[in-house]
Amino acid sequence: MQKTLSMYKQFLRQLHCYIIIIFQGVTPSLRRSVWKYLLNYYSWESTQKERDQVAKEKKEEYYRMKTQWMTMTKIQEDNFSDYRERKSLIEKDVNRTDRTYTFYAGDNNPHIQLLNDILMTYVMYNFDLGYVQGMSDLLSPILYLLQDEVDTFWCFVGFMEKVISNFDVDQAGMKEQLQHLHTLVAFIEPELSTYLDNHDSGNMFFCFRWLLVWFKRELSQEDVMKLWEVLWAGLPCPNFHLLICVAILETEKRALMDNNYGFTEILKHINELSLKLDVNFLLNKAEGIYRQIEESAHANDNVREILGLPKIENGNLDSPNTASFTYLDTTADHASVNIDTNEVSYERGISNSYL
């Protein structure tokens, strides 16, 4: 029984991956259904009856939470500054979320109200996180597609679970990703990585927006939906979004280096790529980079671990200390000496910046 279930699950996953990856232009109605699985609203192995039950329970739960904030009295609000702050920030942000799209355009747009209500309910769902800027960007395409308040909320919850560390109070999740990105760039494009280090940009801060909202500000609504599906599916590997970054940087390498861009010009150049990127090209290129790393004999374990690849079997790589030691050891060719130095200066850069 267990085996049948797991085979069925496998089959479903493959089917969906197939739909997403091969037929990239899935129809909106198919997409509406696929997203609910990708965002863990429904489990892959559920039956229709179970899904109906989940939908019913989730609906009740949603409205219970919504009522909590909707029935808050003025005195309660006056005595609850954290709540007030979140409420005010949400109001400010929904009113400047994707207003250029017809779906969210114009005065008194009901969809803006829905964005507001869903984010307010999320505050009640996860008060510790509350609302952080960027979250309205993550929500907007989901509501645009699903056009149902409750479904959108729970799919948004699923999305937030995947990226919640982006919104850490101390930004630890973002710092780690920026560091991982640097490691990947140092491996794939050591020349570029050295260049960035030497031009005050080794901290990769100029990629912050890409990572925080998964390219939402860089791509059109349609393209970002396509990209997110691939990333949600975890295909072809975890942290594939970092390889999308590498793909862009590889494409822009000559522009950055030949123009001898410094700290400010790099940031400006990267910011100005917004809405000029081709998502299909990037997906293909990033997948190519993944294959290259997967098959590379000298991809060190730091790189492999980021992408969920098994560590290289040579006996003593299990402890973190040996792993990082080996990382330096196994990269003793010309390019990798740079990696070593870069890592040191990068570490220094990061800690300086945060002092």
Partner 1 sequence: MSTRDDEYDYLFKVVLIGDSGVGKSNLLSRFTRNEFNLESKSTIGVEFATRSIQVDGKTIKAQIWDTAGQERYRAITAAYYRGAVGALLVYDIAKHLTYENVERWLRELRDHADQNIVIMLVGNKSDLRHLRAVLTDEAKAFAERNGLSFIETSALDSTNVDNAFQNILTEIYRIVSQKQIRDPPEGDTIRPQNVEPIDVKPTVNSDSVRKQCCQ
Q: Using an 8 Å Cβ cutoff, are 199 and 261 in contact? A: yes
Long-range contacts of 25-31 (CB under 8 A, 24+ apart): 25/226, 26/229, 28/145, 31/145, 31/225, 31/229
Place of tokens 């939908």: 55
Q: Which CB, 108 or 314, lies closer to partner 1?
A: 108
Q: Which CB, 93 or 117, lies closer to partner 1?
A: 93
Q: How far is the CB of 31 from partner 1 (least distance, A)?
A: 24
Q: Which CB, 207 or 247, lies closer to partner 1?
A: 207
Q: How far is CA 347 from CA 107, 144, 155, 286, in A?
A: 48, 41, 36, 26
Q: Which CB, 171 or 322, lies closer to partner 1?
A: 171
Q: Which CB, 5 or 255, lies closer to partner 1?
A: 255
Tell whether the torsion through CA atoms of 120, 126, 127 and 133 is positive or negative: negative
Helical axes 135-146 vs 81-94, angle rounded to 10°: 60
Cis link prior to 236 (omega < 30° from 0)?
A: yes
What is 64-76 written as a DSSP string?
A: HHHHHHHT--HHH
Q: State the Cα–Cα distance between residues 195 and 68, nearest whole angstrom.
A: 53
Q: How far is the CB of 206 from partner 1 (least distance, A)?
A: 8
Phi-psi region of 130 (alpha: psi -120 to 50; beta: other; left: phi over 0): left
Secondary structure of residue 27 in the 3-state scheme: coil
Written as one letter, the residue type at 353 is S
Q: How far is the CB of 331 from partner 1 (least distance, A)?
A: 28
Q: Using an 8 Å Cβ cutoff, are 86 and 131 in contact? A: yes
How far is residue 91 CA from its own chain's centroid?
24
Q: Which CB, 105 or 344, lies closer to partner 1?
A: 105
Q: Which CB, 100 or 314, lies closer to partner 1?
A: 100
Q: How far is the CB of 259 from partner 1 (least distance, A)?
A: 6
Q: How far is the CB of 60 from partner 1 (least distance, A)?
A: 32
Q: State the Cα–Cα distance between residues 97 and 117, nearest whole angstrom.
A: 14
**Token output for 40:** 């863990």
Q: Which CB, 171 or 221, lies closer to partner 1?
A: 171
Q: How far is the CB of 182 from partner 1 (least distance, A)?
A: 15
**Token output for 21:** 């990856």
Residues in contact with partner 1 by the rule CB under 8 A: 85, 88-89, 92-93, 96-100, 132-134, 136-137, 167, 169-171, 174, 203, 205, 208-209, 212-213, 217, 259, 261, 264-265, 267-268, 271, 353-354
> Cα angle vertex 146, ends 141, 151, to 5°?
110
Q: How far is the CB of 88 from partner 1 (least distance, A)?
A: 7
**Token output for 170:** 């101390």
Tell me which residue of 256, 108, 272, 115 sits closest to 193, measured CA to CA.
Answer: 256
Q: Which CB, 93 or 197, lies closer to partner 1?
A: 93
Q: Which CB, 87 or 304, lies closer to partner 1?
A: 87
Other residues' Cβ atoms within 10 Å of the Cβ of residue 203: 24
Q: How far is the CB of 105 from partner 1 (least distance, A)?
A: 8
Q: How far is the CB of 9 from partner 1 (least distance, A)?
A: 36
Q: How far is the CB of 260 from partner 1 (least distance, A)?
A: 8
